[in-house]
Chain A
Amino acid sequence: GSGARRAAEAVANGPDSVEWEGRSLLKALVKKSALCGEQVHVLGCEVSEEEFREGFDSSINNRSILYHLSHQRSLKPSRQFIEWKWVFQRRLVYHDLFRDPLSWSKPGKALPGGPLEALRALDKRTGSGPATIALDSLSWLLHHLPCPILCQTLHALSRQDSCPGDTLPGEQVRVLGLLHEELHGPGPLGALSSLAQTEVTLSGTMGQASAHILYRRPRQRPTLQTQWFSILPDFSLELQVEPLLESQPPSDLHTPSVDPTTHLTFNLHLSKKEREAKDSLTLPFQFSSEKQQALLRPGLGQATSHIFYEPDAYDDLDQEDPDDDLDV
Chain B
Amino acid sequence: MFPELNNLLNTTPEGAEQGKLTLLCDAKTDGSFLVHHFLSFYLKANCKVCFVALVQSFSHYNMVGQKLGVSLTTARERGQLVVLEGLKSAVDIFFRPQEEPHPLQFLREANAGDLQPLYAFVRDALEPVDCGEAAWRCPVLLVDDLSVLLSLGVGPVAVLDFVHYCRATVCREWKGNVVALVHDSGDAEDEESDVLLNGLSHQSHLILRAEGLATGFCKDVHGQLRILWRRPLQPTTPRDRSLTYQYKIQDKSIFCCEPSSEPYSL
Write the residues of chain A forming the contact surface with B, with a CB cutoff of 8 angstroms: 18-21, 24, 27, 46, 48, 50-51, 54-55, 98-102, 104-105, 139, 143-144, 180, 182-183, 185, 202, 204, 207-209, 230-233, 235
19 chain-A/chain-B pairs, Cβ below 8 angstroms: A18-B198, A18-B230, A24-B235, A46-B202, A46-B203, A50-B172, A55-B233, A99-B172, A100-B168, A101-B164, A102-B114, A104-B119, A105-B169, A139-B199, A143-B157, A144-B157, A182-B198, A183-B202, A230-B237
| B85 at the binding interface (Cβ < 8 Å) | no
Checking B160, B169, B201, B238 against A204 with a beta-carbon cut-off of 8 angstroms, the contacting residue is B238
Checking A144, A208, A233 against B235 with a beta-carbon cut-off of 8 angstroms, the contacting residue is A233
Query: Could you tell me if B235 and A55 are in contact, using CB atoms closer than 8 angstroms?
Result: yes
Chain B residues whose C-beta falls within 8 Å of the C-beta of A54 in the assembled complex: 233
CA distance A21 to B229 in the complex (A): 12
Query: Assuming A104-B119, A143-B157, is B236 touching A233 (CB within 8 A)?
Result: yes
> Nearest-CB distance from A13 to chain B (Å)?
14
Give chain B's interface secondary structure class: helix
Query: Could you tell me if B168 and A48 are in contact, using CB atoms closer than 8 angstroms?
Result: yes
Closest to A207 in B: B239
User: Which among A19, A209, A233 has the greatest number of chain B C-beta atoms within 10 A?
Assistant: A19
> Nearest-CB distance from A106 to chain B (Å)?
9
Query: Could you tell me if B161 and A209 are in contact, using CB atoms closer than 8 angstroms?
Result: no
Checking A24, A102, A180, A233 against B202 with a beta-carbon cut-off of 8 angstroms, the contacting residue is A180
User: Which among A18, A55, A207, A235 has the greatest number of chain B C-beta atoms within 10 A?
Assistant: A18
Chain B residues whose C-beta falls within 8 Å of the C-beta of A182 in the assembled complex: 194, 198
Chain B residues whose C-beta falls within 8 Å of the C-beta of A50 in the assembled complex: 172
What are the 9 tightest A-B residue pairs by CB atom distance, in nearest-first order? A209-B238, A24-B235, A182-B198, A18-B201, A233-B234, A143-B157, A231-B235, A48-B172, A104-B116
Write the residues of chain B forming the contact surface with A, with a CB cutoff of 8 angstroms: 114, 116, 119-120, 157, 160-161, 164-165, 168-169, 172, 191, 194-195, 198-199, 201-203, 230-231, 233-240
Chain A residues whose C-beta falls within 8 Å of the C-beta of B194 in the assembled complex: 182
CA distance A98 to B237 in the complex (A): 26
Query: Could you tell me if B199 and A99 are in contact, using CB atoms closer than 8 angstroms?
Result: no
CA distance A173 to B119 in the complex (A): 38
- With A54-B233, A55-B233 already in contact, 14 other A-B pairs whose C-beta atoms are closer than 8 Å: A20-B238, A20-B239, A21-B231, A24-B235, A46-B203, A102-B161, A104-B116, A104-B120, A139-B202, A180-B199, A183-B198, A204-B238, A207-B238, A209-B239
CA distance A243 to B114 in the complex (A): 47
Closest to A103 in B: B116
User: Which among B195, B202, B238 has the greatest number of chain A C-beta atoms within 10 A?
Assistant: B238
Chain B residues whose C-beta falls within 8 Å of the C-beta of A48 in the assembled complex: 168, 172
CA distance A51 to B175 in the complex (A): 13
CA distance A144 to B172 in the complex (A): 22
CA distance A144 to B191 in the complex (A): 17
Closest to B123 in A: A105
Chain A residues whose C-beta falls within 8 Å of the C-beta of B157 in the assembled complex: 143-144
User: Which among B120, B161, B168, B172 has the greatest number of chain A C-beta atoms within 10 A?
Assistant: B168
CA distance A144 to B157 in the complex (A): 8
Chain B residues whose C-beta falls within 8 Å of the C-beta of A19 in the assembled complex: 239
Closest to A24 in B: B235
Closest to B161 in A: A102
CA distance A204 to B202 in the complex (A): 17
Closest to A180 in B: B202
> Nearest-CB distance from B157 to chain A (Å)?
5
CA distance A3 to B34 in the complex (A): 48
User: Which among A21, A102, A232 has the greatest number of chain B C-beta atoms within 10 A?
Assistant: A21
Chain B residues whose C-beta falls within 8 Å of the C-beta of A27 in the assembled complex: 235
